[in-house]
Amino acid sequence: MTDTAAVHDLTDPAADPFAVAEAAAEVIRERTGAARHDVALVLGSGWGQAGDLVGETLATIDNTDVPGFAKAAVEGHSGTMRSVAIGDTGRRALVYGTRTHFYEGRGVRSVVHGIRTAAAAGCSAVVLTNGCGGLDPEWMPGTPVLISDHINLTSATPLEGATFVDLTDLYSPRLRAVAQEVDPTLDEGVYVQFRGPQYETPAEVRMARTLGGDLVGMSTALEAVAARHVGLEVLGISLVTNAAAGISPNPLSHEEVLEAGAAAADRCGRLLATVVARI
Ligand code: 8IG
């Protein structure tokens, strides 16, 4: 079975990432007993507990059992995916407890593998969540903000070859309207994906603001591009876990990120659960 092993290694240039996604979706079907999933949910920093409110977990799979997935590299992220009943709608959510970040150096194919797998598993929409820095000083740690658009500063792309994809309305106006119906106090902002893993300097945060950004983070944009390419509707929600560097006088810490997530879990959980049920 050496052939299969090679094909499932996304860092091997000979691999076909879409074939690996098909293989992953097949394992998900076997292990969950669900012929299809409907909505995928990626839980970022601070969103771990929020996922629990979406519905009953019907199956939990270790990422390491699924082709192309690696175990979690960040503390506070869980290295599993779950099949969750969406309330009593009869539909299923595929909930990723963690994501692969670009800064891990496993390549862009690994970063977007969960998205391609979700599409192969039948999903028609994905909710991308993240923890990020906020550029608006009014956004206290623990404030969820809808992503209206993004600026990709990674200088990477998940698309290969002459794959021209239109990104107008990448962050679905329809799904944003649903989220704002659920919580009319939700602000929107432009998310700027930096490569990381270092946080920005205050000068880089000023640059992001000059470019039109409102939120700074290390994920989401590459996944959103891959999602559009495979036809998924995208909703992005950031949890502002800290003021971006230079916005507040305090230095940034990962502990602050985890605390803000725990404090906001209830609000974010109810938001996510209600929005996912209405997708
Ligand atoms: I949580 O302030 C979290 N992730 N780039 N900047 C960047 N990523 C983040 C930040 C932040 N906070």
Domain ranges of the chain: 4-278
Q: Tell me if 239 CB under 6 Å of ligand 1.
A: no
Options 200, 204, 223, 233, the catalytic residue: 200
- Contact residues for 258 (Cβ-Cβ < 8 A; gap 6+): 45, 46, 75, 76
Q: Tell me if 45 CB under 6 Å of ligand 1.
A: yes
Residues in the chain, pLDDT under 50: 1-2
Residue with CA nearest ligand 1 atom 8: 217
pLDDT score, position 5 = 53
Output the CA angle 272-258-233, nearest 5 degrees: 30
Strand partners, 81: 61, 96
Residue with CA nearest ligand 1 atom 5: 217
Pocket test for ligand 1, best of 98, 154, 199, 222 (most atoms within 8 A of CB): 199
Distance (Å) of CA 192 to CA 3, 78, 263: 39, 25, 24
Q: Tell me if 218 CB under 6 Å of ligand 1.
A: yes
pLDDT score, position 248 = 81
pLDDT score, position 249 = 80
Task: Return the residue matching tokens 């990381």.
Answer: 196
Assess if CATH 3.30.70.330 describes domain 4-278.
Answer: no
Q: What percent of the chain has pLDDT over 90?
A: 74
